[in-house]
Every structure is written in structure tokens, then in C-alpha cells.
């Protein structure tokens, strides 16, 4: 019995199982669609589609780095308990490595990539894990960072609740010193959550909005316009100091700015050091979690 692509597609749409699992089911049942559905159900693979509608707002942010490149991947599941499951952790870390090695720019490019040692794609392996673990899971987002020379350094906080990458560009051969600097700055980013790297990275609309707010605040004091402009410029310096990584007080030594810490390291290494970018992911950021009404649940059961 030759299993056609359409048969696999139809079975997948009906059951939500992965393509390779659907192909195998049809092969095992000589192309009998109903028997294939039953085969998948017996294997627990068709259950994945029923879980797909449930909110997955927990999970893990994982990081992988390889010299001058690095990647963050957020994989979501329904509960914190499952985020510690060995199968979930192994899948998340393997998917991140596949993403880095394949050059995938986003999760849609990652999904069709080959998942090691299974004959499945990453997306099909995800479906398989959903059926195995028993919770909805999703590949939510990924971000890549690279430097022309130097290192990309990662930091994972609270077992995957926050993930950070920092690009440290330098020709210095002292990779241990660069890694130490990058780790400290990644920890700073995790704690301070700067929106932007430096002043040039602040979007024009965000800067204009801040100017307007500061100008209105200054006008309320009754100062003349020429004084207001000077007040706005002074307050913008404070805005940059709070919002731009390189101008923030360094969390490990607030008497220094981050840019001072970088300059000191460059002097120590006798080689220019530049922080070229960073990425910060917070697990579940922006996902609407379901609010459980336990009183209603009890009433429903009692009724």
C-alpha cells in the first residue's frame, strides 16, 4: 500500500499527530483511515490536538552559545512542574541547538528542521512530546545574536525564567576575561532590563514621546520656554541613564556606569572591547494566563 501525501495530510488534520507518526500509522493499517486514527489513539499520539487549545504560559527559556554566536529559545508548557520534566528540558535544549546550528531565524524556520535521532522534524517531535507529557507545549520565539569577533555570552536566571545574551566584540585572545565581562553584563541586563543598548538605539517615536512628557512637566512649573528646553535636555540625560544599557549604573558597582566597566576591561586587555547588542527574554511575557475560578469549579462539581 502506497501512502500518499494527501492521506498523511488528511490524517494529520483529523488527529493533530505529527506527519511521520501519521505516515507510520497509515503504513501499519494499509491506508485504512479509521484504523489509522485508532492506531494513533492507542499510541497516545492523537491526543495532542485536544491539548493545543490550552494556554501554555509556563516553560523555559534556554540559551546556547558557540563562540561568536548565540541563541535564546522560549518553549512554553502549561505548568511549572512540567517545565522541570526531563523530557521537556531535553527537548527544549535540543531544539535550541538545532536552531543555532541550522541558522533558523525564527520558530517557523525551526519547525521543519530535522530533530536528531528520531526521523521527525522539530515540530513533529513537539507534537510527540505533547502526547507523551500530557500538556500543551509550544515553540514561542527565538532570537539570535552574533559578533564579528569575540564572544556571545549567555545567562539563565531562575532556572529558565529569564534568559539573556550579550555580544562582546573584541580582538583580544583572552576569551576567559571576555566571558567574565559578558557574564557580569548579562546578569546586569537580567536585573536592570534596559530597553536599549545606547542613545542611538532609542526609536525616534519613543524619544519624541518622552520629550513631550518632560516638556509638559516642565511647563506645569511655570518656567519660560527657553528654560523649559534646558530642563528637558537635563531630564533626557536621566531618561538615557535609566533606559540605555551602556549608561545605566552597573548593578555590581553602582558608582560606575556600564560603559566605564567596559572601558576598564579594554584598558586591562590593551584591546578595544565593544558591547554590540543584547537580548533579554522573560518567560511567558505577554501571554494571557487563564485565571482559575476555584469557587465556580467547586460549585460545578457539587451541582
Which residues span the domain enclosing 27?
5-46
Separation of alpha carbons 8 and 14, rounded Å: 10
Q: Tell me, yes or no, whether 215 lies in a domain.
A: no
Q: Which residues pair with 280 in a beta bridge?
A: 164
Residues 153 and 280 reside in one and the same domain: yes
Residues 269 and 176 reside in one and the same domain: yes
Residues 175 and 158 reside in one and the same domain: yes
Residues 166 and 272 reside in one and the same domain: yes
Q: Going along the chain, which residue ranges are E strands?
A: 58-66, 69-77, 137-146, 150-157, 162-170, 249-250, 253-257, 273-282
Residues 194 and 269 reside in one and the same domain: yes
Q: Tell me, yes or no, whether 272 lies in a domain.
A: yes
Distances (CA, A) of 73 to 57, 92, 145, 146, 196: 14, 8, 12, 15, 20
Residues 187 and 153 reside in one and the same domain: yes
SS3 assignment, position 238: helix
Instruction: Output the pLDDT for position 15.
Output: 73
Asked if 19 contacts 4 with a C-beta cutoff of 8 angstroms, the reply is no
DSSP state of 161: T
Number of domains within the chain: 3
C-alpha torsion sign, points 68, 74, 75, 80: positive
Contacts of 125 (CB under 8 A, 6+ apart): 18, 91, 95, 115, 118
For residue 143, which phi and psi values (nearest 5 degrees)? -140, 140
Residues 176 and 109 reside in one and the same domain: no
SS3 assignment, position 41: helix
Residues 26 and 38 reside in one and the same domain: yes
Q: Residue 257: which CATH number?
A: 3.30.479.20
Separation of alpha carbons 136 and 54, rounded Å: 6
Residues 86 and 180 reside in one and the same domain: no
Residues 116 and 12 reside in one and the same domain: no
Q: How many CB atoms lie within 10 A of CB 270?
A: 8
Residues 156 and 272 reside in one and the same domain: yes
Q: Which helix (H) or strand (E) holds 212?
A: helix 204-219
pLDDT in tens, the chain (303 residues): 789 988 988 887 777 677 888 899 999 999 998 888 878 877 766 655 555 556 667 999 999 999 999 999 999 999 899 899 999 999 999 999 999 999 999 999 999 999 999 999 999 999 889 888 888 899 999 999 999 999 999 999 999 999 999 999 999 999 999 999 999 999 999 999 999 999 999 999 999 999 988 888 888 888 888 888 889 998 999 999 999 999 999 999 999 999 999 999 999 999 999 999 999 999 999 875 654 444 554 454 444
Q: Tell me, yes or no, whether 296 lies in a domain.
A: no
Q: Tell me, yes or no, whether 290 lies in a domain.
A: no
Residues 113 and 32 reside in one and the same domain: no
SS3 assignment, position 257: strand
For residue 137, which phi and psi values (nearest 5 degrees)? -140, 155
Instruction: Output the pLDDT for position 172.
Output: 98
Amino acid at each position: 500500500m502506497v501512502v500518499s501525501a494527501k492521506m498523511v495530510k488528511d490524517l494529520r488534520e483529523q488527529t493533530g499527530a505529527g506527519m511521520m507518526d501519521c505516515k507510520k500509522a497509515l503504513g501499519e493499517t494499509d491506508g485504512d483511515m479509521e484504523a489509522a486514527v485508532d492506531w494513533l489513539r492507542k499510541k497516545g499520539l492523537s491526543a495532542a490536538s485536544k491539548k493545543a487549545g490550552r494556554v501554555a504560559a509556563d516553560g523555559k527559556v534556554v540559551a546556547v552559545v558557540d563562540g561568536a554566536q548565540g541563541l535564546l529559545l522560549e518553549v512554553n508548557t502549561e505548568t511549572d512542574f512540567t517545565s522541570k520534566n526531563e523530557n521537556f528540558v531535553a527537548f527544549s535544549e535540543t531544539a535550541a541547538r538545532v536552531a543555532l546550528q541550522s541558522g533558523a531565524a525564527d520558530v517557523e524556520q525551526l519547525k521543519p528542521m530535522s530533530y536528531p535521532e528520531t526521523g521527525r522534524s522539530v515540530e513533529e517531535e513537539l507534537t510527540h512530546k505533547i502526547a507523551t507529557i500530557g500538556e500543551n507545549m509550544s515553540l514561542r520565539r527565538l532570537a539570535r545574536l552574533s559578533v564579528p569577533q569575540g564572544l556571545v555570552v549567555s545567562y539563565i536566571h531562575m532556572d529558565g525564567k529569564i534568559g539573556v545574551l550579550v555580544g562582546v566584540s573584541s580582538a583580544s585572545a583572552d576569551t576567559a576575561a571576555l566571558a567574565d565581562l559578558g557574564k557580569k553584563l548579562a546578569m546586569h541586563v537580567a536585573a536592570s532590563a534596559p530597553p536599549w543598548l545606547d542613545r542611538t538605539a532609542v526609536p525616534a517615536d519613543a524619544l519624541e514621546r518622552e520629550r513631550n512628557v518632560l516638556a509638559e512637566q516642565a511647563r506645569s512649573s511655570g518656567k519660560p520656554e527657553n528654560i523649559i528646553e534646558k530642563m528637558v535636555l537635563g531630564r533626557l540625560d536621566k531618561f538615557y541613564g535609566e533606559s540605555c544599557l551602556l549608561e545605566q549604573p552597573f548593578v555590581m558597582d553602582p558608582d560606575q556606569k556600564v560603559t566605564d566597566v567596559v572601558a576598564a576591561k579594554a584598558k586591562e586587555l590593551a584591546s578595544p572591547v565593544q558591547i554590540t547588542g543584547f537580548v533579554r527574554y522573560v518567560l511567558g511575557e505577554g501571554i494571557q494566563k487563564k485565571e482559575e475560578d476555584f469557587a465556580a469549579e467547586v460549585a460545578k462539581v457539587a451541582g
